[in-house]
Chain A
Amino acid sequence: MVGKMEAVNGVKSGSNSTASTFQSAFFKPDLSLKSLKLKTKQQELLIRVSILTLVYILAFITRLFSVLRYESMIHEFDPYFNYRTTVFLTEKGFYEFWNWFDSESWYPLGRIIGGTLYPGLMVTAALIYSIIRFLRFAVHIREVCVLTAPFFASNTTIVAYFFGKELWDSGAGLVAAALIAICPGYISRSVAGSYDNEGVAIFALLLTFYLFVKAVNTGSLAWALASAFGYFYMVSAWGGYVFIINLIPLYAMVLLITGRYSMRLYVAYNCMYILGMLLAMQIRFVGFQHVQSGEHMAAMGVFFLMQVFYFLDWVKHLLSDTKLFQAFLRITVTCAVGVGAIALGVGTASGYISPWTGRFYSLLDPTYAKDHIPIIASVSEHQPTAWSSFMFDFHILLFLFPAGLYFCFKRLSDATIFIVMYGLTSMYFAGVMVRLILVATPAMCLISAIAVSATIKNLTQLVRTKSKVAHTGSTKGTTSGKASSKASLDQSLPFQRNGAIALLIGAFYLLCKYATHCTWVTSEAYSSPSIVLAARGAYGNRVIFDDYREAYFWLRQNTPPDAKVMSWWDYGYQITAMGNRTVIVDNNTWNNTHIATVGRAMSSYEDEAYEIMRSLDVDYVLVVFGGVTGYSSDDINKFLWMVRIGGGVFPVIKEPDYLVNGEYRVDKGAAPKMLNCLMYKLSYYRFGELQTEYGKPPGYDRARGVEIGNKDIKLEYLEEAFTTSNWIVRIYKVKPPNNRW
């Protein structure tokens, strides 16, 4: 293909080798531009490298909207935990980090941090930090954490380039790099400040896949080894590694079934699986799951199956009699499947192999979580994906994806089979859970890149061949047979060239639209830190609500260092990271009962809640309230989930008690239990005296657009300790018990 391009290009640079070009450049006194002229191959390399560099930079800077618009800060909820642990790691060292028992969360249970987290992200950031410090750049660890995700997004583009090159050609690689650099589905999790596992995990995921495909294509042990290490990094970074450990066996299985089994696959899979498994066991949170958990059994099954297959191949090689082999095959396959099934059955029955977890079930069956695990269903990013968000996150990739699939099937190879499988499975998962759009994004970008690259290449060829034919008829002989046949086709279809040009312009227009859409989405939707809220004021000016940090900083400075703060689990990580105070529950929702206890306290009457709070040693209660500002994701709107989760463990809490005819309301028509539960009281305490909006009665809740039903709230066991300037966070102090005399 390249050779043809050269001929068509017509850029002749003489037969000088690179060295001689340089020599002539250096030694000839009359230095001319001509001697500096590069060969076509060098030109192509230069263009490729500069495009990649530009894409690399673009991927980084497009993620900096939030830094420019707000500040260099950590976003949202989980990143605060990651940030806190990273700070701990850089201050205390790896050993302390690995053995860290955190008594500041899940009071009074505590949490073994080293054993319950994926350390990849923190170790990566700490490593980058120490390298930068070693180079004598005095940066703060926060800056490193903020920029880790964009940095890895940039690296992902490079991996995408090589992956695309491996799958199709370098053109597809470049397009893939450019597409993934700005794809909103990926940007949503990798903007500056979004210091979360996914930031590095997508890089690790794509790297593992690329290295594995490379290993399958080459059959090289080195690439398989590299892929095992890529897998190790992925395991250390994100729980999504389960996707890899199930997709790769599935892929191997498909290759086996379609008769594409080869020695290359054998080497790649076995090396990657065994080494990857052993390496993954070094992560404490994962431990022996690779041999003990049901989710990882597919990989092991395929591993054994592959040995059986190899064994059979060997026997077939030894036995010349096909009939004998058929009989042997039947016996062996039956035995192998039987042994496997028995082993699995015994393992499961004896409890050695743990059954699938709820999260895994909820992936396979989208309705499972809703019925059985309210805590998973309560998270908005665990909801099934709406069509609009597909369009929002993928834009033209949605249309290019089927086209890419077509090209993949047209030129089927081991590599394209992989990307097709990756694309289809991840698209299914993306449909099940919003957050898994992220996993589908690289596949979408790669497959779409194949579509774009192949289409444009075909079109440009059409355009160019025609022009070549028109200009110099004599060169027709030098072009390949296919081109000449196309040229002859042109004569029969006179508008083909124009059509091609029109289509090229159309493609260009689409890609431009994609770029503007991506930039717009990044700027408007995905660059908000969600800690600082911004709104437009009455005069069009920008109003900033910094209430969260106001409250957390107040906690940090003005409460006793050992104070325990009870809040809904959403704010747990932020309170420990920014407020530096002990919390009862946090975003690591490992103990459902504990969360249910908090939910029960929030949905009980004050005196009952006081008993619960006393038993948990709670000193302060923190609620988030949006009634003054109209901030809708506050605790009143989350309250039904508290009721549901609390009621799931403590049947005294019944959801219908808080509803009126199945309707959730806070105004005068609300259920009496609702009007007197702790959450209602804490949210609306003395709110009835406040005039929130002109022309509305006092106590008008702007988030829900109603006048509240209970304006005369008296607190008996708690007292208001702090309310932020826009009332978004309200903190109450739990009074000590009364003296008996």
Chain B
Amino acid sequence: MAAPLRFRLALVFSVFALLSLLARSSSQDLQIANAERRIDLTSHIIKVFLTLKVENTGASPASEILLAFPPTQVDHLAVVKAAATVGKRKKKTYQPLDVNPSEQPDSPNGTKYFSVSLLKPLGKGESVTLEVFYILTHSLEPFPVEISQSESQLVYYRDSAIILSPYAIKQQTTYIKTPGTKVESYTRVDPTIHAGKELKYGPYDEQPPYSYSPIVIHFENNNPFAVVEELVREVEISHWGSIQITEHYKLVHAGARHKGIFSRVEYQSRPSISGVSSFKHILARLPPRVHSVYYRDEIGNISSSHLRTDSRKSELEIEPRYPLFGGWKATFVIGYGVPLEDFLFESSDGRRYLNFTFGCPLVETVVDKLTVKTSYSYLDVVGRTVVVLEKKNVVPEHSIPFQVYYNFNPIFMLAEPFMLASVFFFFFMACVAYLHIDLSIRK
């Protein structure tokens, strides 16, 4: 039973060891010829696409490129990914690069850095195009903080018009996409253009390193601000052919808080203007071939859910007991079983590999704290080994596979049937004994 259980995570997580090995290069030698930033504010998960064309003007080759973030953004940063562009035009391919948090000795105003390790060092006069993608959560601040049922939700987004970078940027442009055309106000840093759903800052030329120009955008965003405050996923492997997953959610609407009355008649009769920022249902993408799906909470089953399955995916549309307005909470549990052979593989040396998705199956949801517990066997009398993974600030992009492997002797599969059989055996033996043994004192 005491099988040595180890696990490894496939991609980005917990790869801090390489950090110290990386070579340092002077930031002054690098400069950015062209930068384009696209900020997508349509949901409450902010996605930023950054295209940087980096040139090495110094003498020594540079093997890493630094990305700078203001300290307020770093706390909300969920994912940073970088890729180098290879080839041109139609033959363009992307090579994923390692991105790691990095400390720099002379960072102004507490700027935090991530370093992108290039596959091959950038020689003198060479240039490389980087595609950086990062996600910010909890960065839209509702204002007004409290709204009534008939109002729509307005939020602030704060950033800089000029990309924060330790390198000088020759030319840069920022595009900000808002969910609707309704923008209450925005900071002008000329040239600034507002057209339709897009705000364009720039182009700005020749910005020195660490240039910063704060902007505030106040706009309407009625997308569901679905935040799972805490999610505990329990993955339980039964070697008899099934994996049972139980997920405990604490869902909250993290947008502007609901104030005053909730009128059902308004909500029912005028859905377009009443409670626009609230949400009623939420979609969970489950693995294909799920079975015995349930959706319940502390006080029983919640009857409003729909499951659609096909060969590639399963979609569970769940509807909390009541529509979620700002600040309202709902806790619930989703459970389902998946066939064992889809996720558990046995290698030739008898090891078993579990490949399972890490992130939260809910679509467009931020998870503040995610715990994944993996264990096997049931009806156990000697305790079980549980692998626990924890992560804060999880977004849908984290739904990537993780792997756990362990040794398991198939003979233990028979332990439980054997226990049951022996219980019945002893019961019947006791009955037979009782009927055949005369215990009375008198004859």
Closest chain-B Cβ to A573's Cβ sits at a distance in Å of 13
Instruction: Check B439 for interface membership: any CB of A closer than 8 A.
Output: no
Residues of B within 8 A of A727 (CB): 264
Pairwise interchain contact B379-A137, C-beta atoms closer than 8 A? yes
Which of B262, B269, B327, B381 has a CB less than 8 Å from the CB of A723? B262
Residues of B within 8 A of A689 (CB): 265, 269
Closest chain-B Cβ to A547's Cβ sits at a distance in Å of 9
List residues of A (125-165) whose CB comes within 8 Å of B's CBs.
Answer: 136-138
Instruction: Check A546 for interface membership: any CB of B closer than 8 A.
Output: yes
In the complex, residue of chain A having the shortest beta-carbon distance to the beta carbon of B297 = A553
Cα distance, A251 to B381, chains bound together (Å): 52
Pairwise interchain contact B328-A686, C-beta atoms closer than 8 A? no
Pairwise interchain contact A722-B299, C-beta atoms closer than 8 A? no
Pairwise interchain contact A553-B321, C-beta atoms closer than 8 A? yes
In the complex, residue of chain B having the shortest beta-carbon distance to the beta carbon of A732 = B261
Cα distance, A138 to B329, chains bound together (Å): 28
Which of B262, B300, B304 has a CB less than 8 Å from the CB of A71? B300
Pairwise interchain contact B322-A554, C-beta atoms closer than 8 A? yes
In the complex, residue of chain A having the shortest beta-carbon distance to the beta carbon of B325 = A558
Proximity string of chain A (569-605) to chain B, C-beta cutoff 8 Å, 1 when within and 0 when not: 0000000001000000000000000000000000000
Instruction: Check B28 for interface membership: any CB of A closer than 8 A.
Output: no
Instruction: Check A544 for interface membership: any CB of B closer than 8 A.
Output: yes
Given contacts A137-B379, A544-B303, A549-B300, contact A557 B265 (CB under 8 A): no
Pairwise interchain contact A73-B264, C-beta atoms closer than 8 A? no
Closest chain-A Cβ to B1's Cβ sits at a distance in Å of 15
Given contacts A553-B321, A557-B330, contact A136 B380 (CB under 8 A): yes
Which of B300, B302, B322 has a CB less than 8 Å from the CB of A722? B322
DSSP class of B's interface residues: helix, strand, loop or mixed?
loop
Instruction: Check B127 for interface membership: any CB of A closer than 8 A.
Output: no
Instruction: Check B173 for interface membership: any CB of A closer than 8 A.
Output: no
Residues of A within 8 A of B260 (CB): 719
Instruction: Check B213 for interface membership: any CB of A closer than 8 A.
Output: no
Pairwise interchain contact A552-B299, C-beta atoms closer than 8 A? yes
Which of A531, A546, A557, A724 has a CB less than 8 Å from the CB of B331? A557
Instruction: Check A550 for interface membership: any CB of B closer than 8 A.
Output: yes
Pairwise interchain contact A725-B264, C-beta atoms closer than 8 A? yes
Residues of A within 8 A of B299 (CB): 549, 552-553, 556, 578
List residues of B (327-347) whose CB comes within 8 Å of A's CBs.
Answer: 327-331
Pairwise interchain contact B300-A686, C-beta atoms closer than 8 A? no
Instruction: Check B263 for interface membership: any CB of A closer than 8 A.
Output: yes
Instruction: Check B301 for interface membership: any CB of A closer than 8 A.
Output: yes
Pairwise interchain contact A554-B321, C-beta atoms closer than 8 A? yes
Which of B263, B304, B328, B381 has a CB less than 8 Å from the CB of A136? B381
Which of A71, A557, A578 has a CB less than 8 Å from the CB of B329? A557
Residues of B within 8 A of A724 (CB): 264, 322
Pairwise interchain contact B303-A546, C-beta atoms closer than 8 A? yes
Cα distance, A552 to B300, chains bound together (Å): 11
Instruction: Check A489 for interface membership: any CB of B closer than 8 A.
Output: no
Pairwise interchain contact B328-A558, C-beta atoms closer than 8 A? yes
In the complex, residue of chain B having the shortest beta-carbon distance to the beta carbon of A723 = B264
Closest chain-A Cβ to B79's Cβ sits at a distance in Å of 30
Instruction: Check A690 for interface membership: any CB of B closer than 8 A.
Output: yes
In the complex, residue of chain A having the shortest beta-carbon distance to the beta carbon of B250 = A557
Instruction: Check A721 for interface membership: any CB of B closer than 8 A.
Output: yes
Residues of B within 8 A of A532 (CB): 303
Instruction: Check A166 for interface membership: any CB of B closer than 8 A.
Output: no
In the complex, residue of chain B having the shortest beta-carbon distance to the beta carbon of A577 = B299
Chain B interfacial residues counted at CB < 8 A = 28
Instruction: Check A720 for interface membership: any CB of B closer than 8 A.
Output: yes
Cα distance, A26 to B322, chains bound together (Å): 68
Residues of B within 8 A of A554 (CB): 321-322, 328
Which of A138, A549, A719 has a CB less than 8 Å from the CB of B261? A719
Proximity string of chain B (286-327) to chain A, C-beta cutoff 8 Å, 1 when within and 0 when not: 000000000001111111100000000000000001100001
List residues of A (536-553) whose CB comes within 8 Å of B's CBs.
Answer: 544, 546, 549-550, 552-553
Pairwise interchain contact A73-B379, C-beta atoms closer than 8 A? no
Residues of A within 8 A of B298 (CB): 553, 556
Closest chain-A Cβ to B147's Cβ sits at a distance in Å of 16
DSSP class of A's interface residues: helix, strand, loop or mixed?
mixed
Given contacts A73-B300, A73-B301, contact A546 B380 (CB under 8 A): no
Cα distance, A540 to B182, chains bound together (Å): 45
Pairwise interchain contact A550-B322, C-beta atoms closer than 8 A? yes
Cα distance, A556 to B378, chains bound together (Å): 33
Closest chain-B Cβ to A708's Cβ sits at a distance in Å of 14
Residues of A within 8 A of B268 (CB): 690
Cα distance, A578 to B300, chains bound together (Å): 10
In the complex, residue of chain A having the shortest beta-carbon distance to the beta carbon of B258 = A558
Pairwise interchain contact B380-A721, C-beta atoms closer than 8 A? no
Pairwise interchain contact B265-A686, C-beta atoms closer than 8 A? yes
Residues of B within 8 A of A136 (CB): 379-381
Cα distance, A689 to B264, chains bound together (Å): 11
List residues of A (709-730) whose CB comes within 8 Å of B's CBs.
Answer: 719-725, 727
Pairwise interchain contact A553-B322, C-beta atoms closer than 8 A? yes
Proximity string of chain B (159-173) to chain A, C-beta cutoff 8 Å, 1 when within and 0 when not: 000000000000000
Closest chain-B Cβ to A698's Cβ sits at a distance in Å of 10
In the complex, residue of chain A having the shortest beta-carbon distance to the beta carbon of B329 = A557
Cα distance, A550 to B301, chains bound together (Å): 11
In the complex, residue of chain A having the shortest beta-carbon distance to the beta carbon of B300 = A73
Proximity string of chain A (5-25) to chain B, C-beta cutoff 8 Å, 1 when within and 0 when not: 000000000000010000000
Residues of B within 8 A of A556 (CB): 298-299
Cα distance, A71 to B261, chains bound together (Å): 33
Cα distance, A550 to B265, chains bound together (Å): 17
Cα distance, A344 to B264, chains bound together (Å): 62
Residues of B within 8 A of A531 (CB): 300
Closest chain-A Cβ to B112's Cβ sits at a distance in Å of 36
Given contacts A137-B379, A553-B297, A553-B299, contact A546 B321 (CB under 8 A): yes
Pairwise interchain contact B322-A720, C-beta atoms closer than 8 A? no
Cα distance, A73 to B268, chains bound together (Å): 30
List residues of A (12-52) whose CB comes within 8 Å of B's CBs.
Answer: 18
Pairwise interchain contact B265-A690, C-beta atoms closer than 8 A? yes
Cα distance, A724 to B300, chains bound together (Å): 17
Closest chain-A Cβ to B2's Cβ sits at a distance in Å of 19
In the complex, residue of chain A having the shortest beta-carbon distance to the beta carbon of B323 = A725
Cα distance, A677 to B260, chains bound together (Å): 23
Cα distance, A138 to B244, chains bound together (Å): 14
Cα distance, A549 to B303, chains bound together (Å): 11
List residues of B (234-290) whose CB comes within 8 Å of A's CBs.
Answer: 260-265, 268-269
Closest chain-A Cβ to B68's Cβ sits at a distance in Å of 41
In the complex, residue of chain A having the shortest beta-carbon distance to the beta carbon of B328 = A558
Given contacts A73-B300, A136-B379, A724-B322, contact A558 B329 (CB under 8 A): yes
Cα distance, A227 to B331, chains bound together (Å): 48
Residues of A within 8 A of B302 (CB): 546
Proximity string of chain A (66-90) to chain B, C-beta cutoff 8 Å, 1 when within and 0 when not: 0000110100000000000000000
Cα distance, A607 to B300, chains bound together (Å): 38
Cα distance, A720 to B299, chains bound together (Å): 24
In the complex, residue of chain B having the shortest beta-carbon distance to the beta carbon of A715 = B261
Proximity string of chain A (676-694) to chain B, C-beta cutoff 8 Å, 1 when within and 0 when not: 0000000000110110000
Pairwise interchain contact B321-A550, C-beta atoms closer than 8 A? yes
Residues of B within 8 A of A687 (CB): 265
Q: Which of B263, B298, B301, B321 has the most CB of A within 10 A?
A: B321
Proximity string of chain A (54-76) to chain B, C-beta cutoff 8 Å, 1 when within and 0 when not: 00000000000000001101000
Cα distance, A686 to B330, chains bound together (Å): 27
Closest chain-B Cβ to A687's Cβ sits at a distance in Å of 8
Residues of B within 8 A of A558 (CB): 327-329
In the complex, residue of chain A having the shortest beta-carbon distance to the beta carbon of B379 = A136
Cα distance, A505 to B268, chains bound together (Å): 60
Top 4 nearest A-B pairs by Cβ distance?
A723-B264, A550-B321, A71-B301, A557-B329
**6 A-B pairs with C-beta separation under 8 A:** A136-B380, A138-B378, A546-B303, A549-B300, A721-B261, A724-B264
Q: Beyond the given A686-B263, A723-B264, please list 12 additional residue pairs across the A-B interface where CB-CB is below 8 A.
A: A136-B379, A531-B300, A549-B300, A553-B297, A553-B299, A553-B321, A554-B328, A558-B328, A690-B269, A720-B261, A722-B264, A724-B322
